[in-house]
Amino acid sequence: MKIDFGKKIIFWPSIVIMLSILAGINNYYFYSHVERSAERNAIQLHKQLKFSINELINDNVTIDQINNNVIGLVSAWKSKAYYNNKLIVIDVKNNVHNLYIDKKWDKVTTSNITIDINSYINKKPNAFKLSINFDTKFWLISIIRSMTFSISEIIEDITKVKKAEFSGTATTILKENKYDGLITINEKYKGYYNNTIKKIIIKSNDNNIPPKIYSVGYGDKVLIKNGDIVNKGDKLIEGTIVSGILRFQYSYWYRSRPVVGFTIFLVLLLWFFRKREENHKKELLQIDENNIKEANNTIENEVKLIENSDQVNDEYENLCERFKEYDKFINPPVNTVNVENIINQCYDMFGTQLRKAAEKIVYKLYEDKIGSLTNLESINLNNAVWALNKRGFISFEIKKKLDMVRDVGNRASHFNEKQISKTEAIVAANKLLDIIDDLNIKYEQNHTKQEDNNIIIDEDPAIKKKKTGLNIIKKANGSK
3-class SS at 114? strand
Single-letter amino acid code for the residue at 411: R
What does the pLDDT look like over 395-426, one tens digit per residue? Answer: 888 888 888 888 888 888 777 666 778 888 88
Beginning with the edge strand found earlier in the chain, give each strand of the sheet holding 84-90 in spatial order.
Answer: 96-98, 84-90, 109-116, 128-134
pLDDT at 335: 66
Find how far residue 214's CA is from the centre of its chain: 42
> Cα–Cα distance between 303 and 315 in angstroms, integer?
11
Looking at the chain, the number of H-run helices and the number of E-run strands are 15, 13
Q: Average the pLDDT over 343-366 and give the result.
A: 82
What does the pLDDT look like over 217-256, one tens digit per residue? Answer: 878 889 998 999 999 999 999 999 988 888 887 778 877 8
Q: What is the pTM of this model?
A: 0.53
What is the pLDDT confidence band of residue 6, given thresholds at 50, 70 and 90?
low
**Helix, strand, coil fractions of the chain, as percent rounded to 5:** 55, 10, 30
146-150's contacts with Cβ under 8 Å and 24+ in sequence apart are 146/23, 146/26, 146/27, 146/255, 146/256, 146/258, 146/259, 147/19, 147/20, 147/23, 147/256, 147/259, 149/248, 149/252, 149/253, 149/256, 149/259, 150/248, 150/251, 150/252, 150/255, 150/256
pLDDT at 170: 93
Helices (H), 309-346: 312-323, 327-330, 339-345
> Cα–Cα distance between 170 and 337 in angstroms, integer?
105
Which stretch, 98-107, 321-330, 417-426, 461-470, has highest mean pLDDT? 417-426
pLDDT at 176: 61
pLDDT at 346: 75
Instruction: Please count the residues of the chain.
Output: 480
Q: Where are the domains of the chain?
A: 1-149+259-273, 161-238, 309-476
Q: Average the pLDDT over 99-121 and give the result.
A: 81
